[in-house]
C-alpha cells in the first residue's frame, strides 16, 4: 500500500458522526436512487454493446467500487453528476480483482454479466459478511444448469461456458434477489428461453429488467414469481433512470418518527413501500402520499408494534428492520421483530443498548421494550443498516452521541449528515 492509500484508508476509518439529540425534524428531502438497483444495472451494462447512460446514480462507495470494476474489465466508464456513462464495446478482461470483490460483497452480481458477455469469468469467492454466512450456492447451481462449468480453487471461482450459455428452467428453492439478478444477466443473451420459478419479486429486479429490455433484451414477468427470459443476440445502447431507494426513505421516516416533527420526502415510489408504510402507520405516524411525495408526521408517543416480521417482497424488507427497531426503542410498550432473511443481523443491537435501548435478542427474535428516554453515548457501526439505526436513535437521545466506523453507512447513504442537517438535526461529521 502506498502512503496516500494508507492515509486515505486511515481517514475513512477514523471518520465519525456526532449527534446532539433532541431537535425535531422539519422540511423536505429528495430521496436518492436505489443502491440495490444501481449495482445490478451497472453490471448489466457489460452485456450492452453500445453506450449506456444510467441516471440517478447515488454517490456511494459501493457505486464507486462498481465503476472501478467496470474500468478494470476494460469498459469506458465516466461519472457525470448523477449519471454514469458506460461503454463496454472494448471490454477486454473477464477477471474481477480480489480487492474489489472484498470491497463490495454484492459484486457477485457481476458474475452473470461477465459470463454472459465474455463466455468466462474469474472472481474470488465472496465468503461471509457482517450479516452472517452469505452462500451463493443458488447463483452457482443456476449458472451450472445454464451450461457454465465452475471450478472453486483456493478461494477463487473459475467459470467458463465452453458451449455457450443456454436457456433452461430454473427452480429457486428460495427467491434470492442476487441469484434472480445473476440468472437474468446470464440469460439475457443466452441461447433459448430461461424460466425462473420462485423468482425474487423485489422492485430492483423489475428495474434491472426494464433497463435490459430498453437495451433490446426480452424479459417478461419481472415483479411476479415466474420470469421468462428470451435470449437475444444483441443488447445495445440505452438510457435509464434508477428507481428511488425505498430503504433510504424508510430511514428518514424512522428518524422523523423518533426525533419528532414533520418531513416530506420527494421522489419516492410509494407503491414499492406498502409494507413499510403500514408499519409506520401502526406505530402511530401520520402519513400522506401525493404522487411521488410522502409526508410523515411523528406521533406524540410511538405506539408499540406487537409483531413485525421481515419477509421477501412484498413483505416487510429486512433492510428496514434496524431503523424500525431503533424507532421502537422509544415506543409505549414492548414490540417484537422477527428476522427471517439473514442469520446474524442483530450485531448493532449491542451498540443501540449503549444509548439506553432495552432489547433482548434470541436467534431471529428481538424483543424491544420501549423506554422513555435514550441518552447519548459513544458507539460504532457494525454494518450498513445497523449504522443507520444508530443515527436514528441518536437523533432522539438526550446529549451527545458519537458514531464511529461510518464507512459502513457511506456504502448506502449519500450525505446522510447533510440531509439530516437540512432537516434541522444537530449532526456533524469529523473526517
Ligand atoms: C439483496 C440486497 C440486500 C437485501 C437482500 C434481501 C443487494 C445488493 N443486496 O441481497 O440489501 O438485504 O437482497 O432483500 O441487492 N441465500 C442462500 N444462497 C444463495 C443466495 C442467498 O442461501 O445462493 C440466502 C442468503 O444467505 C440470505 C437469503 O438467502 O439468508 C437472502 O439472500 P438474497 O435474497 O440473495 O440477498 P442478496 O441478493 O444477497
Q: What CA–CA distance (Å, rounded) separates 13 from 30?
A: 28
Candidate of 138, 139, 176 to mutate for ligand 1, largest count of ligand atoms within 8 Å of Cβ:
176
Is 11 a residue whose pLDDT tops 50? no
Lowest-pLDDT range, 13-17, 101-105, 362-366?
Answer: 13-17
The radius of gyration of the chain from alpha carbons, rounded to an integer in Å, stands at 22
Query: Count of CB atoms within 10 A of residue 7's CB?
Result: 11
Candidate of 43, 125, 140, 177 to mutate for ligand 1, largest count of ligand atoms within 8 Å of Cβ:
177
* Residue 296: per-residue pLDDT: 98
Looking at the fold, whether 340 and 378 belong to one and the same domain comes out as yes
Per the structure, the complete domain to which residue 57 belongs is given by 35-241
Looking at the fold, whether 234 and 250 belong to one and the same domain comes out as no
Residue 4, C-beta contacts closer than 8 angstroms, at least 6 positions apart:
none
Cis link prior to 248 (omega < 30° from 0)? no
* Residue 269: per-residue pLDDT: 98
Looking at the fold, whether 90 and 236 belong to one and the same domain comes out as yes
Judged by DSSP in three states, 122 sits in strand
Looking at the fold, whether 273 and 153 belong to one and the same domain comes out as no
Q: What CA–CA distance (Å, rounded) separates 400 from 412?
A: 24
From the number of C-beta atoms within 10 Å of its C-beta (0-12, 13-18, 19+), residue 347 rates as middle
Q: Which of 52, 129, 159, 255 is an active site residue?
A: 129
Which of 147, 169, 172 minimizes the C-alpha distance to 159? 147
Please tell me the residue having the least CA distance from ligand 1 atom 25: 134
Query: Contact 245/31 with Cβ under 8 angstroms?
Result: yes
pLDDT tens by residue, 127-164: 656 776 678 999 999 999 999 999 999 889 999 999 99
pLDDT tens by residue, 44-73: 999 999 999 999 999 999 999 999 999 999
Q: What CA–CA distance (Å, rounded) separates 382 from 267?
A: 29
Is 376 a residue whose pLDDT tops 80? yes
Looking at the fold, whether 280 and 295 belong to one and the same domain comes out as yes
* Residue 4: per-residue pLDDT: 41
Which of 210, 364, 223, 203 minimizes the C-alpha distance to 276? 203
Judged by DSSP in three states, 174 sits in coil
Cell representation of residue 269 = 415510489
Query: Is 176's C-beta closer than 6 angstroms to any atom of ligand 1?
Result: yes
Looking at the fold, whether 300 and 370 belong to one and the same domain comes out as yes
Looking at the fold, whether 10 and 108 belong to one and the same domain comes out as no
Looking at the fold, whether 263 and 237 belong to one and the same domain comes out as no
Which of 241, 260, 278 lies at the terminal end of a domain, its last residue?
241
Query: Is 181's C-beta closer than 6 angstroms to any atom of ligand 1?
Result: no
Q: What is the mean pLDDT of the chain?
A: 94
What is the rounded average pLDDT of the residues 188-214? 98
Query: Contact 367/360 with Cβ under 8 angstroms?
Result: yes
Residue 154, C-beta contacts closer than 8 angstroms, at least 6 positions apart:
none
Judged by DSSP in three states, 390 sits in helix
Looking at the fold, whether 237 and 269 belong to one and the same domain comes out as no
Query: Is 137's C-beta closer than 6 angstroms to any atom of ligand 1?
Result: yes
Query: Contact 403/391 with Cβ under 8 angstroms?
Result: yes
Distance 4 CA to ligand 1 centre (A): 35
* Residue 127: per-residue pLDDT: 61
Candidate of 174, 175, 205, 363 to mutate for ligand 1, largest count of ligand atoms within 8 Å of Cβ:
174
Looking at the fold, whether 12 and 146 belong to one and the same domain comes out as no
Which of 241, 259, 279 lies at the terminal end of a domain, its last residue?
241
Which of 241, 265, 290 lies at the terminal end of a domain, its last residue?
241
Q: What CA–CA distance (Å, rounded) separates 279 from 298?
A: 13
| 129 in active site | yes
Count: domains in the chain: 2
Query: Is 404's C-beta closer than 6 angstroms to any atom of ligand 1?
Result: no
Is 409 a residue whose pLDDT tops 90? yes
Q: What CA–CA distance (Å, rounded) separates 277 from 279?
A: 5
Is 107 a residue whose pLDDT tops 70? yes
Query: What is the CATH classification number for the domain harbouring 333?
Result: 3.65.10.10
Judged by DSSP in three states, 376 sits in coil
* Residue 12: per-residue pLDDT: 47
Is 233 a residue whose pLDDT tops 60? yes
Q: What CA–CA distance (Å, rounded) separates 66 from 52?
A: 15
pLDDT tens by residue, 265-302: 999 999 999 999 999 999 999 999 999 999 999 999 99
pLDDT tens by residue, 306-328: 999 999 999 999 999 999 999 99
Distance 129 CA to ligand 1 centre (A): 11
* Residue 5: per-residue pLDDT: 44
Q: What CA–CA distance (Å, rounded) separates 176 from 369?
A: 32
Looking at the fold, whether 218 and 308 belong to one and the same domain comes out as no
Judged by DSSP in three states, 37 sits in helix
Q: What strands, in cross-sheet order, belong to the sheet with 286-290? A: 25-30, 261-266, 293-297, 286-290
What are the start-end ranges of the E strands in 175-259? 193-197, 218-220, 226-230, 238-241
Residue 357, C-beta contacts closer than 8 angstroms, at least 6 positions apart:
326, 329, 349, 368, 371, 374, 393
Query: Is 128's C-beta closer than 6 angstroms to any atom of ligand 1?
Result: no
Is 179 a residue whose pLDDT tops 50? yes
Which of 303, 362, 351 minimizes the C-alpha distance to 328? 303
Distance 388 CA to ligand 1 centre (A): 19
Looking at the fold, whether 112 and 133 belong to one and the same domain comes out as yes
Sign of CA dihedral 92, 97, 103, 105: positive
Amino acid at each position: 500500500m502506498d502512503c496516500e492509500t494508507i492515509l486515505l484508508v486511515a481517514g475513512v476509518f477514523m471518520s465519525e458522526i456526532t449527534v446532539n439529540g433532541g431537535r425535531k425534524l422539519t422540511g423536505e428531502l429528495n430521496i436518492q436512487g436505489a443502491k440495490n438497483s444501481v449495482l445490478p444495472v451497472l453490471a448489466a451494462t457489460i452485456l450492452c454493446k453500445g453506450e449506456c447512460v444510467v441516471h440517478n446514480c447515488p454517490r456511494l462507495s459501493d457505486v464507486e467500487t462498481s465503476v472501478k470494476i467496470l474500468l478494470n474489465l476494460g469498459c469506458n466508464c465516466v461519472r457525470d453528476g448523477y449519471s454514469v456513462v458506460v461503454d463496454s464495446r472494448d471490454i477486454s478482461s473477464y477477471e474481477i480483482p480480489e480487492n474489489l470483490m472484498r470491497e463490495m460483497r454484492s459484486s457477485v452480481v457481476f458474475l452473470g454479466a461477465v459470463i454472459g458477455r465474455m463466455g468466462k469469468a474469474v472472481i474470488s469467492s465472496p465468503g461471509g459478511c457482517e450479516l452472517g454466512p452469505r452462500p451463493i450456492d443458488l447463483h452457482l447451481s443456476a449458472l451450472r444448469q445454464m451450461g457454465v462449468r465452475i471450478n472453486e480453487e483456493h478461494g477463487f471461482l473459475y467459470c467458463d461456458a465452453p458451449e455457450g450459455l443456454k436457456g433452461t428452467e430454473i427452480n429457486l428453492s428460495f427467491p434470492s434477489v442476487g441469484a434472480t439478478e445473476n440468472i437474468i444477466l446470464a440469460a439475457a443473451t443466452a441461447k433459448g428461453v430461461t424460466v425462473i420459478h420462485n423468482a425474487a419479486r423485489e422492485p430492483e429486479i423489475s428495474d434491472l429488467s426494464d433497463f435490459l429490455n430498453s437495451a433490446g433484451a426480452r424479459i417478461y414477468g419481472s415483479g411476479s414469481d415466474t420470469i421468462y427470459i428470451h435470449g437475444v443476440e444483441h443488447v445495445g445502447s440505452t438510457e435509464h433512470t434508477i428507481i428511488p431507494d425505498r430503504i433510504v426513505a424508510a430511514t428518514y421516516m424512522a428518524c422523523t418518527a423518533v426525533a419528532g416533527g414533520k418531513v416530506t420526502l420527494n421522489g419516492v415510489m410509494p407503491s414499492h413501500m406498502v409494507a413499510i408504510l403500514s408499519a409506520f402507520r401502526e406505530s402511530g405516524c401520520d402519513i400522506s402520499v401525493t404522487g411521488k411525495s410522502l409526508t410523515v408526521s411523528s406521533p406524540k408517543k410511538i405506539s408499540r408494534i406487537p409483531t413485525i416480521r421481515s419477509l421477501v417482497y412484498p413483505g416487510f424488507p429486512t433492510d428496514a428492520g434496524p431503523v424500525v427497531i431503533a424507532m421502537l426503542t422509544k415506543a409505549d410498550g414492548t414490540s417484537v421483530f422477527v428476522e427471517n432473511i439473514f442469520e446474524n443481523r442483530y450485531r448493532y443491537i449491542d451498540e443501540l443498548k449503549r444509548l439506553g435501548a432495552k432489547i433482548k435478542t434470541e436467534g431471529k427474535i428481538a424483543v424491544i421494550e420501549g423506554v422513555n428516554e435514550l441518552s447519548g453515548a459513544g458507539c460504532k457501526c457494525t454494518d450498513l443498516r445497523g449504522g443507520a439505526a444508530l443515527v436514528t436513535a441518536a437523533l432522539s437521545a438526550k446529549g451527545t452521541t458519537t458514531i464511529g466506523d461510518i464507512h459502513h453507512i457511506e456504502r448506502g447513504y449519500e450525505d446522510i449528515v447533510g440531509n439530516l442537517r437540512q432537516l434541522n438535526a444537530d449532526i456533524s461529521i469529523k473526517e
